[in-house]
Amino acid sequence: MPLHHHLFLEETKMAHRYPKPLLDTLYCLEDHIHWEEEEQVDYNEYSNTTTTNTNSSNVVLLEHDLFWDHEELPSLLAKEHQNQLSNTLLQNNLVLASSREEAVEWILKVNARYSFSTLTAVLAVNYLDRFLFSFRFQNDNNDNNNNNNPWLTQLSAVACLSLAAKFEETHVPLFIDLQLEESKYLFEAKTVKRMEILVLSTLGWKMILVTPLHS
Amino acid sequence: MEMEKTGAGVAVLSAKEAFEKLEKVGEGTYGKVYRAREKATGKIVALKKTRLHEDQEGVPPTTLREVSILRMLSRDPHVVRLMDVKQGQNKEGKTVLYLVFEYMDTDLKKFIRSFRQTGQSIPPQTIKSLMYQLCKGIAFCHGHGILHRDLKPHNLLMDRKTMMLKIADLGLARAFTVPIKKYTHEILTLWYRAPEVLLGATHYSMAVDIWSVGCIFAELVTKQALFAGDSELQQLLHIFRLLGTPNEEVWPGVSKLKDWHEYPQWNPKSLSTAVPGLDELGLDLLSQMLEYEPSKRISAKKAMEHAYFNDLDKGHL
């Protein structure tokens, strides 16, 4: 498969899933993306070989890892539905869209700084969007004004990135180290801890996500 | 304080108000497990308490993974059902999480021990039923992209009356992605640890769970652990004495694993010497679970189709 074609397919997948601001910020991570592409090429090479060549391949895929059974696709689609709710929220609230964009950019910078995986970034942004949607929905019902506090979006971003890293990475920095990347606010560990619990209970502890990286 | 006002928006029923603790039944990695009664319904549950105050960095990764994974898997009858997650406070006012599980009255470790004490063997059809349920539960986990990574008799809960078996303690489990990432090395309980993990492989997959299933299978038959090493080296030597010291011919790539070095050379022995009392079909299935090369080890789904299970009444499992 030509590399530029592969890149186009990846962009199409991402464009389908996320608003454009995420795609724009991904260009800043060109080197990181290139590294990911290298791995994808290995994956293709492995799939195409008749005999297993474990000496040269970095990808350890077992034969039965690649087989799908009938239950998997409906299961993935059922999980997919919960991710589709966030876009309308941003279209109706420009202030929130702006602070969300800043938060996403911050997540991507920290992700790159610690060499977290692309999946960690995808998870963190997913948690953030679902939380903002759900939290906004709750506050609309309560008729109060918390929804426009930009510090709340940034605190949510710290908690969501921490949760994503805990789920996906083997080494997770301390809350304070996670916030070394410049932002307007610096939150205490106990504050992030309470926000983590709020995010988890708001999302119903449903933290496993369907992404292109699964398929 | 803004944070307080924000937090107050989420109504949480205190665990103390909702449950009456009856007795402590276990101690997990992050806290105690209690048998308890839900006051509203009278239902008996297991409460797994996770203390957050000892970990200033928020929710522990093991709790996060366990709850998220159980939220996805709990609809399978062979995975223990997580009913709820509740926040509470302990005596010092620190935040505590309670995981509310269906209660199961015993586990496979206790079950095997009870037969060892009486000197009786576990009936062959009971072994077959338990093994089928274990393969089915693991096939379900693997089909959803979840490795357990710590399968052992203590983590397999049972109901004595119905002989139902359920997989528990998924705190070390991981959702895997493609390509499979490096995982931490010192995870699995030693006796049930796959040789590729013992030899330092950091990229590994569903096959590590199948090795553990094979060790449990043998233990159900003999009532003793199949490979009972007390160090990583001794664990490997136990395995090599029975299955033969692996080489590049039986396991391509083995000598390039990080922790490989020279070992005494043993020839493989017949599995029947280590697991007397298991019939030919059972020995064949066991041998496929204990294949050295991970890619050749049988999958949980294929294991369910093995002829060993042909005469089992699967209708109620």
Q: Are residues B48 and B166 in the same domain?
A: no
Burial of residue A29, with CB atoms counted within 10 A of its CB: 0-12 exposed, 13-18 middle, 19 or more buried? middle
Q: Report d(CA B210, CA B291) in Å as an integer.
A: 10
Given a cut of 60, whether residue B40 has pLDDT beyond it is yes
Of A62, A139, A205, the CB nearest to B85: A205
Confidence of residue A1 (pLDDT cuts 50, 70, 90): very low
Domain count, chain A: 1
Given a cut of 50, whether residue A8 has pLDDT beyond it is no
pLDDT in tens, A172-188: 898 989 998 777 889 99
Q: Are residues B175 and B69 in the same domain?
A: no
Residue B124 DSSP SS3: helix
Q: Is residue B182 part of a domain?
A: yes
Q: Is residue A38 part of a domain?
A: no
Given a cut of 90, whether residue B188 has pLDDT beyond it is no
Q: Report d(CA A20, CA A63) in Å as an integer.
A: 37
A18, A10 in Cβ contact below 8 A?
no
At A93, list the tokens: 């609230």
Q: Is B284 designated active site?
A: no
Q: Chains A and B: how many Cβ contacts under 8 Å?
A: 138
Q: Is residue A207 part of a domain?
A: yes
Per DSSP, B298 falls in state P
Q: Is residue A155 part of a domain?
A: yes
Looking at chain B, the whole-number percentage of residues with pLDDT higher than 90 is 60
Q: Is residue B155 part of a domain?
A: yes
Name residue B159's beta-bridge partners.
Answer: B164
Taking CA–CA distances from B171, the nearest residue in chain A reads A167
DSSP H or E segment with residue B256: none
Tell me which of B73, B102, B131 is where a domain ends: B102
Q: Is residue B236 part of a domain?
A: yes
Q: Is residue A1 part of a domain?
A: no
Q: Report d(CA A186, CA A208) in Å as an integer.
A: 28
Report the CATH number at residue B62: 3.30.200.20
Average pLDDT over residues B288-302: 97
A120, A147, A188, A205, best to mutate vs chain B, most B CBs in 10 Å: A205
pLDDT in tens, B212-223: 999 999 999 999
Domain that holds residue A160: 72-140+147-214
Between chains, do A197 and B177 touch, taking CB under 8 Å as contact? no
Q: What are the residues whose beta carbons fall under 8 Å from the beta carbon of A213, sequence distance 6 or more? A: A118, A119, A122, B177, B178
pLDDT, mean over chain B: 87
Please name which of B31, B28, B168 lies closest in space to residue B88, comparing C-alpha atoms.
B31
Average pLDDT over residues B61-65: 84
pLDDT in tens, B205-256: 899 999 999 999 999 999 999 999 989 999 999 999 999 999 999 999 999 9
Between chains, do B56 and A193 touch, taking CB under 8 Å as contact? yes
* CB-based burial, B211-223: b 16+ in 10 Å, e otherwise: bbbbbbbbbbbbb
Taking CA–CA distances from A75, the nearest residue in chain B reads B144
Confidence of residue B191 (pLDDT cuts 50, 70, 90): very high
Known binder of ligand: residue B166?
no
B21, B47 in Cβ contact below 8 A?
yes
Domain count, chain B: 2
Q: Are residues B160 and B118 in the same domain?
A: yes
Of A61, A167, A190, the CB nearest to B178: A61
Between chains, do B71 and A201 touch, taking CB under 8 Å as contact? no
Q: Are residues B164 and B282 in the same domain?
A: yes
Q: Are residues B97 and B82 in the same domain?
A: yes
Q: Report d(CA A129, CA B54) in Å as an integer.
A: 30
Q: Report d(CA B263, CA B245) in Å as an integer.
A: 7
Taking CA–CA distances from B182, the nearest residue in chain A reads A170
Supply the pLDDT for residue B150: 87
Of B97, B205, B252, the CB nearest to A60: B205
CA dihedral angle for residue B192, residue B193, residue B196, residue B201, rounded to 10 degrees: 160
Q: Are residues B188 and B243 in the same domain?
A: yes
Q: Are residues B182 and B79 in the same domain?
A: no
Cβ-based neighbour number of residue B41 at 10 Å: 9
Of B95, B182, B207, the CB nearest to A170: B182
Tell me which of B102, B132, B162 is where a domain ends: B102
Q: Are residues B89 and B135 in the same domain?
A: no
Specify the higher pLDDT residue, A212 or B124: B124
Burial of residue A163, with CB atoms counted within 10 A of its CB: 0-12 exposed, 13-18 middle, 19 or more buried? buried
Pick the most confident of A51-55, A110-114, B29-33: A110-114
Q: Are residues B23 and B68 in the same domain?
A: yes
Q: Is residue B12 part of a domain?
A: no
Burial of residue B253, with CB atoms counted within 10 A of its CB: 0-12 exposed, 13-18 middle, 19 or more buried? middle
Q: Is residue A4 part of a domain?
A: no
Supply the pLDDT for residue A11: 36
Q: Is residue B11 part of a domain?
A: no
Q: Is residue B78 part of a domain?
A: yes
Q: Is residue B58 part of a domain?
A: yes
CA dihedral angle for residue A24, residue A29, residue A34, residue A36, rounded to 10 degrees: -100
Q: Are residues B224 and B254 in the same domain?
A: yes
Q: Report d(CA A37, CA A43) in Å as an integer.
A: 10
DSSP H or E segment with residue B45: strand B44-51
Supply the pLDDT for residue A75: 61
pLDDT in tens, B85-137: 888 777 777 778 889 999 999 999 999 999 999 999 999 999 999 999 999 99
Q: Are residues B123 and B52 in the same domain?
A: no
B78, B140 in Cβ contact below 8 A?
yes
Confidence of residue B81 (pLDDT cuts 50, 70, 90): very high
Q: Is residue A48 part of a domain?
A: no
Please name which of A133, A157, A158 lies closest in space to residue A147, comparing C-alpha atoms.
A133
Interface of B with A in 122-161 (CB under 8 A): 143-145
Domain that holds residue B129: 106-309
Q: Are residues B201 and B224 in the same domain?
A: yes
Confidence of residue A67 (pLDDT cuts 50, 70, 90): very low
Q: Which parts of chain A fold into alpha helices (H)?
A: 3-17, 20-26, 30-48, 72-81, 87-92, 94-113, 118-142, 150-168, 175-178, 189-202
Q: Is residue A174 part of a domain?
A: yes
Tell me which of B81, B102, B123 is where a domain ends: B102
Q: Is residue A62 part of a domain?
A: no
Supply the pLDDT for residue A20: 37
Maximum distance among all Cα pairs of chain B, rounded to whole angstroms: 70
Starting from the edge strand earliest in sequence, which strands make up the sheet with B106-107, in order? B106-107, B156-159, B164-167
Q: Report d(CA A124, CA B296) in Å as an integer.
A: 36
For residue A60, list chain B residues with Cβ-Cβ distance below 8 A: 179-180, 203-205
A37, A57, A61, A64, best to mutate vs chain B, most B CBs in 10 Å: A64
Supply the pLDDT for residue B170: 81
Q: Residue A40's Cα: distance from chain center in Å?
A: 18
A105 CA: distance to closest CA in chain B (Å): 23
Interface of A with B in 152-211 (CB under 8 A): 152, 159, 162-163, 166-167, 170, 172, 174-175, 189-198, 200-202, 204-208, 211
B21, B36 in Cβ contact below 8 A?
yes
As a whole number of Å, the CA-based R_g of chain B is 21
Pick the most confident of B70-84, B93-107, B115-129, B172-186: B115-129
A71 CA: distance to closest CA in chain B (Å): 8
Q: Is residue B275 part of a domain?
A: yes
Interface of A with B in 5-24 (CB under 8 A): none
Reported as half-sphere exposure (CB side, CA atoms, 13 A), residue B14 has a value of: 9
Report the CATH number at residue A92: 1.10.472.10
Between chains, do A175 and B57 touch, taking CB under 8 Å as contact? yes
Report the CATH number at residue B114: 1.10.510.10
What are phi and psi for residue B37, nearest 5 degrees? -115, 130
Supply the pLDDT for residue B95: 78
DSSP H or E segment with residue B19: strand B19-27
